[in-house]
Amino acid sequence: MKPVYLDNNATTQVAPDVLREMQPFLSDYYGNPSSMHTFGGQLHRKIEDSREMVASIIGVSPEEIIFTSCGTESDNTALMSAVESFPRKKHLITTKVEHPAVLNFCRHLARKGYRVTYLPVNNLGQLDMDFLLKSLDEDTVLVSIMYANNETGVLFPIQEIAEMLRERDILFHTDAVQVVGKIPIDLKTLPVDMLSLSGHKLHAPKGVGALYVRKGTRFSPYIIGGHQENGRRAGTENVASIIALGKACQLALENIQEESRNVSALRDKLENALLKCCPDVRVNGDTEHRLPNTTNVSFEYVEGEAILLRLNEYGVCASSGSACTSGSLEPSHVLRAMGVPYTAVHGSIRFSLSRYTSDDEINKVIEIMPLIIKELRQLSPFGREKFSCPSS
Amino acid sequence: MLSIICLMQLKLSCVDLERILCINVTMWEYTDKVKNAFLHPRNAGEIADADAVGEVGSIVCGDALKIFLKIDKETGKITDAKFQTFGCASAIASSSALTEMVKGKNLDEASRITNKDIADHLGGLPDQKMHCSVMGREALEAAIASYRGETFPLETKEKVICKCFDVTEDKIRKVAIENHLTTVDEITNYTKAGGGCGECVKDINDILVDLWSVKKLEKPPHPKKLTNLQKIALIQEIIESEIRPGLQADNGDLELVDVEGPKVIVELRGMCTGCAMSDVTIGRIQQKLRELVSEDIVVETHG
């Protein structure tokens, strides 16, 4: 049975066209792009073609793109480059709801003596802009704020932040891993200095990402070795995956408006049905400024892992911010930062759709979800008087 | 992982240890029995005229269990048992298992059920989920205590060690002894203590040191007297084989500088230098050397 895959913020299916495009470079064309012979050297041209496609999805020049191994490497590189390039400045600003790739790297820097400000969010997951403004000082080396949150899909006002920081001449990095390919981005009018993206979130395979570094931005490489990527990221290129990333960007760019509309229509259908199906269900985060594919819904009185495993029985894949699924006993740091009550955090489920999500699949989830919630609430000692879901 | 110091049998986590690790327990890690008990729980529901009710956990903590017992007054036998559980798959499965296990037992037999029995009944639970079995046992204890007119928990001095999950010292000690737990990570898996903000990790470790070093006194003293040369060689060997690998795994290191009578002088290197936990690290090394070499050893840092 083909799974109903609604966990696309975790990873996505490789697009068939992308797979086709990359395959020859895993078999016949196995050369090293740095070689002097044509067999290897010709791959260099392919990588540059791919770089152009990646550049075009965010509206930048190809030479501003550095290929990396993943979103985390892009994030780590951006942060490390900033602190290495400006060694006298010792203050960073990020948010409490960042991905661990940024958050934990900031904590790592904090242990090494850096001062880090973690910006709070309100109960809709929106950033406190005044707090950001007040936190800036002469010692601030970098502000790193995600474009959209991976758990809730909430979009931060990146345009406003970028312009504010540009005025003050402060370096700005954004982790746009969840955004690239989902909504249009044009860095010609958006003054960020560095931007991270990841292949496997937009239908390319795992193991490839990119970092955009604006021309004129001081840069210090994180991985040191050979001359690849103009000396900015050493290591023999992951040729097939880089080609795949280029193709994935091309595909995404071709259909971004239409896909975004279709996906958000399905997402809204699912969300509205879930809100109607049972009492004590809530959507977490700002629904006005949100990625088109994501909904984070909390079902009170039941626990997320239990919901996920029941969904799993029906072949439906989603994820949860509950403690039991994080392996850490503490539930989602994002939902807690938003002040979502613990009762709702434990029962939070994230559905994240993609261009491959069909209406039938959404109908299936709408059909089974009330049954699952009803069954689990019947097991639960809490909220028993409040249900039940009218079975459809 | 830089800040995890692994030494001997005691794993210490620095207070600032990053806890947003994503190690998902997936469906695959559950046994078929757990899956089955979760998907088709037995004895779910409540008994309106129950003779005993036991309730543990809370919605805030992420799991809660309420057990209802029907008890024959003449024989003391549990004739019926039901549960209501808010929690993950293993919490629901543990509850289901517990109700199956107690039926037909008298109260004394039931009170001897351990958390391990519950886990075994399910063909085992993943390490991170052992606290679900502990919760089951506690709910049963609470129910039996209420039936007997006792208060639960039975302990009088209630020192809360883990404020995040409201876990007392008595519970940590009890679970540690019953399940032979020697590391903080194990305590976290079984009780959740230390799994939140991490502030109590050191306290838990102190409890474990206290608990198991008391036990160690029962062991016979070192059988033979070592010559000075043998003693130095033995210290060097223990440092090489048992201490340095753990430190190196966390990018730390240690070097033996000198041995003067009972004094062992070492120098911390790498990430250990200036680590907030270095005093604790030295304490662990001293404990290990006292255990394996001589009971009068004092470890000091060089310079």
Q: Do B59 and A346 touch (CB under 8 A)?
A: yes
Which uninterrupted H or E stretch holds A356? none
Handedness of CA B45, B114, A326, A97 (dihedral sign): positive
Say if residues A86 and A141 touch (Cβ distance below 8 Å).
yes
Q: Quick check: helix, strand or coil at residue B252?
A: strand
Query: For residue B59, which residues of chain A lie inside 8 Å, CB to CB?
Result: 301, 342-343, 346, 382
The residue in chain B having the minimum alpha-carbon distance to the alpha carbon of residue A326 is: B22
Q: Do B21 and A328 touch (CB under 8 A)?
A: yes
Q: Do B195 and A328 touch (CB under 8 A)?
A: yes
Distance between CA atoms of residues A125 and A143, nearest Å: 18
| pLDDT(A209) > 70 | yes
- B78-131 pLDDT, tens digit per residue, is 999 999 999 989 999 999 999 999 999 999 999 999 999 999 999 999 888 888
Could you tell me what percent of chain B has a pLDDT over 90?
A: 33
pLDDT band at B151 (very low <50, low <70, confident <90, very high): confident
Q: Quick check: helix, strand or coil at residue A321?
A: coil
Q: Do A323 and B62 touch (CB under 8 A)?
A: yes
Query: For residue B164, which residues of chain A lie inside 8 Å, CB to CB?
Result: 330
Q: Who among B21, B23, B63 is closest to A303 (CB)?
A: B63
Q: Do B89 and A309 touch (CB under 8 A)?
A: yes
Q: Who among A107, A302, A323 is closest to B86 (CB)?
A: A302
Nearest partner of A349 among A357, A340, A358, judged by Cα: A340
Could you tell me what percent of chain A has a pLDDT over 90?
A: 90
For residue B202, the model assigns a pLDDT of: 87
Q: Do B19 and A328 touch (CB under 8 A)?
A: yes
Distance between CA atoms of residues B33 and B122, nearest Å: 5
For residue B253, the model assigns a pLDDT of: 83
Query: For residue B89, which residues of chain A lie inside 8 Å, CB to CB?
Result: 305-306, 309
**Residue B88 annotated as catalytic:** no
For residue B217, the model assigns a pLDDT of: 42
Say if residues B134 and B195 touch (Cβ distance below 8 Å).
no
Query: For residue A105, which residues of chain B lie inside 8 Å, CB to CB?
Result: none
| pLDDT(B296) > 90 | no
Average confidence score pLDDT of chain B: 81
Query: For residue B65, which residues of chain A lie inside 8 Å, CB to CB?
Result: 381
Pairing label, strands B4-7, A4-5 = unpaired
Average confidence score pLDDT of chain A: 94
**Lowest pLDDT segment from A177-181, B52-56, B194-198:** B194-198
Q: Do A381 and B66 touch (CB under 8 A)?
A: yes
**From the CA atom positions of chain A, what is the Rg in Å?**
22
The residue in chain A having the minimum alpha-carbon distance to the alpha carbon of residue B86 is: A380
The residue in chain A having the minimum alpha-carbon distance to the alpha carbon of residue B95 is: A379
Within the 274-303 window of chain B, which residues sit less than 8 Å (CB to CB) from chain A? none
Distance between CA atoms of residues A218 and A81, nearest Å: 8
Q: Who among B18, B35, B59 is closest to A382 (CB)?
A: B59
Nearest partner of A82 among A196, A188, A161, judged by Cα: A196
Q: Who among B21, B89, B188 is closest to A305 (CB)?
A: B89
Q: Is B159 exposed, middle or buried (0-12, 13-18, 19+ CB in 10 A)?
A: exposed
B272 touches chain A (CB under 8 A): no
| pLDDT(B12) > 90 | no
The pair phi, psi for residue A52, each rounded to 5°, is: -65, -40
Summarize the confidence of residues A303-330 as an average pLDDT.
84
Single-letter amino acid code for the residue at A381: P
- A115-169 pLDDT, tens digit per residue, is 999 999 999 999 999 999 999 999 999 999 999 999 999 999 999 999 999 999 9
Query: For residue B18, which residues of chain A lie inside 8 Å, CB to CB?
Result: 100, 104, 107
